[in-house]
A = this chain, B = another copy of it.
Amino acid sequence: MLPFANDYMQTMHPALLKRLASMEGDAFSGYGSDACTESAKARICAAFSCPEADVVFLCGGTQANLVVISAMLHATEGVVAATTGHVAVHEAGAIEATGHKVLTLPSHEGKVCAEELAALLRAFDADETREHTVYPGMLYISHPTEYGTLYTKAELQALSDVCHAHGMLLYLDGARLGYGLAAHATDVHAADIAALCDAFTIGGTKVGAICGEAVVFPGGAPKHFFSYVKQRGALMAKGFFVGAQFDTLFTDGLYEAIGRHAIDMAERLCAVLAQNGYERFMESPTNQQFVILELRQYEFLSEQVHMSVWEPLADGRIVVRFCTSWATTEEQIDALAYLLAEAKRR
């Protein structure tokens, strides 16, 4: 089966496995107090041009979201997200389980719009009963979004401005950030993210690591954050293991290279889709590609390709997602190209 279902189907990038093997026999101090972790933090601060940042390594994406959001919000505040945002729909109520409401804005191909946020805040301010409602305390965005789309630098700037003018925090979920930064069309650089956000994550799990997300607080971590991470069950005894992975990812441009590779593979796939006349559900400049298939095409492909069923359409067709990743090979793209051409003839 060709592995295009998602970007977390394989273990880890060979360089990370090599690093892990090289650590055999060495002893490290626990809970992230080791030299690998220190080095990784320094490399991330350099890569994102935020020398004063606090960097903390956690295990997974939902974990990072719930820990960061609940650590930064006041009890009476909620987090604003797109209706399609991961925290709004696909975290089994993780944010609410920490006591905070997820307020929603319309999703524009996965993105929120600064003007709609500003309108929400104006309505909040004008509401005489606002003390009986949830305060918008933070904006959550994903970049790339759940649909693989990207904010422009101007859009990020506008969101950051609206948030900060209202005393709100801006948090960017970068579970697939490596693929976002490597997109050809983007004008958003690593340093922009650190400059515009109050917190953001750098995804490892989907970008070459076997597990691990870096959480970055450009202006410093919340009070007692180490203990808070422990309290939420998110502190890893062998933190050096995640630290070492990120240390490797941010050495010699590996994180960027992984991103570019997946983007290259995605662009080849896009070309194949176009050549064969497949209709796109949404355009995406990153590693997730959403395609509309006829049922018979889907059935033919699903025998040989792992892909994700996104949603059925009312007309009987099916939206599927093909993901590339650091692990995608040219041979896999070629094989998929052949099958896509075949499927078109069914």
Contact = CB atoms under 8 A, between A and B. Distances in A.
B231 A93 contact: yes
**Integer count of this chain's copies in the complex:** 4
B230 A233 contact: no
Contacts of A75: 70-71, 97, 224, 228, 231
A188 to B, nearest CB: 25
A28 B312 CA distance: 24
Interface string A218-243: 00000110111011111111100100
Nearest to A66: B233
Contacts of A90: 129, 132-133
A66 to B, nearest CB: 5
Interface residues of A, number: 80
A295 to B, nearest CB: 16
Interface string A91-120: 111101111111000000000000000000
Nearest to A100: B96
Nearest to A3: B27
Main secondary structure of the interface of A (DSSP, over half): loop
Contacts of A223: 74, 76
A62 interface: yes
Interface in A184-237: 205-206, 210-211, 223-224, 226-228, 230-237
A327 B60 CA distance: 27
A277 interface: no
21 contacts: A5-B29, A6-B30, A10-B24, A10-B26, A17-B21, A17-B24, A59-B236, A60-B235, A60-B237, A74-B223, A76-B93, A77-B224, A78-B93, A90-B133, A92-B133, A92-B230, A94-B232, A131-B226, A206-B237, A211-B211, A233-B234
Given A9-B30, A76-B227, A78-B96, 16 more contacts: A6-B30, A11-B241, A17-B24, A25-B327, A59-B59, A59-B60, A65-B233, A76-B92, A76-B93, A76-B228, A90-B129, A93-B134, A94-B233, A96-B99, A133-B227, A206-B237
Interface of A: 1, 3, 5-6, 8-11, 14, 17, 20-21, 23-30, 59-67, 70-71, 74-78, 89-94, 96-102, 126, 128-129, 131-135, 205-206, 210-211, 223-224, 226-228, 230-238, 241, 306, 309, 312, 327
